[in-house]
Amino acid sequence: MSDEPTTKHVLQVIPDMGTGGAEKTTLDIANELVRLGWNSTVTSNGGRLVSALEAGGSTHLKMSMHSKNPITIITNGFRLARIIKAENISIIHARSRAPAWSALIAARLTDIPFVTTYHGAYSQSGRLKALYNSIMARADAVIANSHWTADLIRKRHPWSHDKISVIHRGTDFDEFAPKAISDERLKNIKSTWNIKNDDFVVLKLARLTDWKGQKYLIEAVALIIEEFPHVKLVLAGDAQGRDTYRNQLMDLIKKYDLQKKVILPGHCDDPAAAMATSHAVVVASTDAEAFGRAAVEASAFEKPLIVTRIGAVVETVLAEPEVTKAKATGWKVPPANAAEMARALKELLLSSKDEQNAIGKRARAYVTASFSLQNMCSKTISVYNALLSKQR
């Protein structure tokens, strides 16, 4: 750049600033930039996290970054280029496909580095969709949120191999810690869900949709409930209009006579307290997850985990046979397999309280060492600095 700014300035672009994983990561990186003395700007269509973003010292510029209209995408590209020049932006970082196309236009017009982050696995059917997705691999640096995601990028876009860095989603482990949840929050969850002191609570925390695997977990509980009648399964999550699927789950519960053992409480306003209240957490997905946020957060609360062996969630759990039983933080089972899930649940239920506590302690130690917020921020800043060094 001919006029290099004295203060580094990062512009992040994202469809909106709602409450999802990509949005929270945008906020986390913005706050870290401000803490380091950098300038931070985010462009999006707005959302709940804008107030927190601005409170942290970043600037938010509202634009229709969520639009997939080609004319809007191109127009946004030229608007971003003007912002880059006016604000002395050093780097532009896109976190979704439509904004990434606009960011590419702006970066090429202004000759600044362009970064993308893959926050999920994008469905790819046909050449047109493949072309649209390819923008996420066209950046000067490509961040994958897991090794599984990185492998997917390499498979789809072999030419991007040397540009990929794996930076796992970071978690604030001060927020997700057993002592961070007040007794009042725990009591509220137990009261809402009618949890008794002698219940063994198995929690599945996800929206109600077929690929999240709730039906296999219901079937797994049906296989063990006679031997372990103190088990209570909580499938917390909003159906988001999928009433047919919710009704299917209710029919399964009735079929196995589990009305007093399985509850569907709907949306959970306090997922952290829900995890802290549970005795075990299950990720039962039948399609690949691009990252295992729920698994990491549950581990932070020292909860044993059962996850399906698919996608990136396997990176967040240590289990046999990859490690010895003495080092395991949970179980990995085949997806869509109620019998294997029941086997893992039974093994957990047959273990002693001390053994369960030891699994939980190992789980927290593993995720805090591997998936911390500070790790994510420092590695992302390193990507920025490496690109800026090349500019000089």
List the pLDDT tens digit at each of the 392 positions of the chain.
334 446 899 999 999 998 778 999 999 999 999 999 999 999 999 999 999 999 999 999 999 999 999 999 999 999 999 999 999 999 999 999 999 999 999 999 999 999 999 988 888 888 889 999 999 999 999 999 999 999 999 999 999 999 999 999 999 999 899 999 999 999 999 999 999 999 999 999 998 999 999 999 999 999 999 999 999 999 999 888 889 999 999 999 999 999 999 999 998 989 999 999 999 999 999 998 888 888 999 999 999 999 999 999 999 999 999 999 999 999 999 999 999 999 999 999 999 999 999 999 999 999 999 999 999 999 999 999 999 998 76
Two tokens at 318?
């240590």
| Bridge partners of residue 262, in order along the sequence | 233
Question: Given this model, what pLDDT does residue 121 score?
Answer: 80
Contact 118, 149 (CB under 8 A): yes
Query: How far, in Å, CA of 1 to CA of 48, rounded?
Result: 35
Domains of the chain by residue range: 9-170+372-391, 178-370
The span from the CA of 86 to the CA of 27, in Å, is 23
Residue indicated by tokens 């029919």: 251
Given strand 114-118, what is the order of strands in its sheet?
59-62, 39-44, 9-13, 91-94, 114-118, 141-144, 164-166
End-to-end Cα distance, the chain = 8
Tokens of 303: 């909860």
3-state SS track over 179-222:
HHCCHHHHHHHHHHHCCCCCCEEEEEECCCCHHHCHHHHHHHHH
**The domain 178-370 belongs to what CATH superfamily?**
Glycogen Phosphorylase B; (3.40.50.2000)
- What is the rounded distance in angstroms from the CA atom of residue 32 to the CA atom of residue 40? 9
**What pTM was estimated for this model as a whole?**
0.86
- Whole-number Å distance between alpha carbons of 373 and 146: 15
Same fold yes or no, 9-170+372-391 and 178-370: yes
- Round to whole Å and give the CA distance between 270 and 247: 24
Separation CA 19–CA 115 (nearest Å): 22
**The predicted structure's pLDDT at residue 6:** 64
Q: For 391, how many CA atoms within 13 A lie in the half-sphere containing its CB?
A: 21
9-170+372-391 CATH fold: Rossmann fold (3.40.50)
Residue type, 250: M
SS3 content of the chain, % helix, strand, coil (to 5): 50, 15, 35
Candidates 116, 123, 99, 154; CA nearest to 25 is 116
Structure tokens at 198: 């002698």
Chain centre distance of CA 73: 26
